[in-house]
Structure 1
Amino acid sequence: MQLRFSKMHGIGNDFVVLDCRHRGFPLDTAQIRALGDRHTGVGFDQLISVEPARDPSCAFYYGIWNTDGSPSGQCGNGVRCVAAWLHRAGALALGDSVRLESPSGPVTVRLLDAHEVTVDMGEPMFEPARIPFATAQPAPHYAITAGDATLEIGAVSMGNPHAVVAVQDLADPALQQLGPLLSGHEHFAQGANAGFVHRLDRTHLRLRVHERGAGWTLACGTGACAAMAVLHQRGEVDDRVQVELPGGTLRIDWAGPGHTLWMTGPATFAFEGEWTVPGGTP
């Protein structure tokens, strides 16, 4: 079977996007892993399918899978790419807002231009059971042990679980080990995206993220949202923040509890292609 795809990225966080609007999702876990292999497949941080909506209030549904084949609940850079893909497919006009259905529920996107998208990511969830994170009461700081280190983290869900660690040096070699340890930490029943954030001032952050199921990425949209939300909860940043990641910069706006959080950034097409699905039906 030949599988047509679009390769896209949001500030370096890269995706393979499949058009499943008129067909079922065609891949099993082994085939997702084969497609995601950067040496023998196409390579991606996440695979995204565009499908008919299950929720009648939404225009389309999008599914998300990590490189290891595991499903993901949300992807901030990915939903911006879905919006740009829908625009190129003639399903979303410039300036329009539309509700899209993610595995974690509806989000609203607005296409500012052909390559710039703003997304209502919902309200950050700090309740431990909703993250999920193993502790009794919500708090702005938690102390946990990862390997030989005791870390102070923030925990939040942006439709997927995040552990956020404030650091002074994003180039510290210790982060290479701490990222995977936090992503697989036993306190996070479903794993976590581990974000290491350096606060430059009240409106400017720098961030690195180790994503569960994908590893270190050039950018993580929900990670940028999570870092801003955790520091905002602590009173350390303003309502509008620029978050600089290795692949580029996102703008995050959040006025605090009772308000939804908005993420704004680019979505870029890289190329179109066909991939021969191993073990697929001819």
Structure 2
Amino acid sequence: MQFTKMQGLGNDFIVFDAINQTVELSPKQLRFLADRRFGVGCDQILLVEAAQSENTDFHYRIFNTDGSEVEQCGNGARCFARFVRNKGLSDRDVIRVGTGGGDIQLYLEDNGWVRVDMGSPILQPDAIPFIADREQPVYDIEVNGQTLQIGAVSMGNPHAVLLVDNVKNAPVETLGPALEKHERFPRRVNVGFMKVRSPTEIDLRVFERGTGETLACGTGACAAVVSGQLRGLLKEGVRVHLPGGDLVICWEGGHSTLWMSGPAAEVFEGNIEL
């Protein structure tokens, strides 16, 4: 099979054109592909498939390094847009894509960045899903014998957001996996550790479910900005500093769409036999 290695802010992906070739991957094969020593190595595997509705141009599937399938990936979406343009699958500047978390639109901009319509955030606990009596901007949760305060947001995939004093010293390695599999998140959760620098600037590290910490997480950046606004800490436009680089997130609140802008690049092409 032919594949392309891509990255968005160091969040790296193996991308397969599943339109012009048959791509059927078992969880074992997905784990092999993602392995950085024995396989190709990546944070996630992306499949570019034919559209499943008249309202979209393509369908987009995302798999974690543990072989599990997830609903959405913001950095992957930008790589998806760059991939279909580079491979001649589309010549449009606006690409409509169906995902497991809903339809999204991708805009290829003149500066080489990709702007993504990430849709509206989901805040109702049962839809995230998160076990809670009612919707709140902040929830108390018991983890490892301590009570933490988190924001709970879905961007098509579930996120928990914690405020920290310094992202460098944040307990990502311990609280990340503990929260990821917490019983109050029935489908597990991505965990963001956010430091607010100013109303328009944050630092963020993200522990992604099924993968671990990554250099960048687009949906995590969106969820962090939503949570920060709901707490009254952030304005509509926010620059998010991630270990792999910066994203710009804009949200006007309520049911309005989140816009995510950032780079995406091709690293190399290859062929692999499984």
Which TM bucket (shorter chain)?
over 0.9
1:96-135 residue pairs with structure 2 within 5 A?
A: 96-113=93-110, 115-135=112-132
Q: Counterpart in 2 of 1:91?
A: 89
> Conserved in 2, the CA contact under 8 Å of 1:6 and 1:18?
yes
Alignment length (residue pairs): 274
Give 1:29-108 correspondences, 5 Å limit. Answer: 29-93=27-91, 96-108=93-105
Secondary structure of the 1:113 match is: coil
By how many angstroms is 1:114 displaced? 7.3
User: Would the aligned equivalents of 1:5 and 1:273 in 2 still touch at CA under 8 Å?
Assistant: yes
State the TM-score, normalized to the length of structure 2: 0.97
3-state SS, counterpart of residue 32 of structure 1: helix
Q: Which amino acid aligns with 1:43?
A: G
Task: Map residues 4-15 of structure 1 onto 2, 5 A cutoff.
Answer: 4-15=2-13
Displacement of 1:25 in angstroms is: 2.9
Maintained 8 Å contact 1:170/1:198: yes
- TM-score, normalisation: structure 1: 0.94
- For residues 264 and 33 of structure 2, the distance between their equivalents in structure 1, rounded to whole angstroms, comes to 21
Partner letter of residue 100 of structure 1?
V
Contact 1:231-1:237 within 8 A present in 2 as well: yes
**Partner-residue secondary structure (3-state), 2:81:** helix
Q: Within 2, Cα distance between the matches of 1:268 and 1:149? A: 41
Deviation at 1:104, TM superposition (A): 1.2
Structure 1: runs of 5 or more not aligned: 278-282
Structure-to-structure mapping, 1:1-282, within 5 angstroms: 3-93=1-91, 96-113=93-110, 115-172=112-169, 174-277=171-274
Please say if residues 115 and 268 of structure 1, whose CA atoms lie closer than 8 Å, have aligned partners that are also in contact: no
Answer whether contact 2:172 2:207 (CA < 8 A) is retained: no
Segments of structure 2 that go 5 or more residues without pairing to the other structure are: none
1:84-117: CA deviations, max 9, x gaps? 00111223336x2121111111101100037310
C-alpha displacement of 1:173: 5.6
Task: Give the secondary-structure state (helix, strand or coil) at the position aligned to 2:169.
Answer: coil
- Give the Cα–Cα distance (whole angstroms) in 2 for the partners of residues 102 and 265 of structure 1: 20
| SS of residue matched to 1:171 | helix
1:32 maps to amino acid: L
The whole-number CA distance in structure 2 between the counterparts of 1:228 and 1:238 is: 9
Counterpart Cα distance in 1 of 2:255 and 2:218 = 21
Q: Distance in 2 between matches of 1:129 and 1:173?
A: 28
Amino acid at match of 1:270: V
Note the aligned Cα RMSD (angstroms).
1.2
| 158-167 or 18-27, larger mean C-alpha shift | 18-27
The answer to whether the 8 A contact 1:87-1:114 is kept is no
- Aligned partners of 2:121 and 2:255 also within 8 Å: no
Cα shift at 1:217:
0.3
For the residues of structure 1 that align with 2:23 and 2:53, how far apart are their CA atoms?
18
Instruction: Output the CA distance in 2 between the equivalents of 1:198 and 1:262.
Output: 21
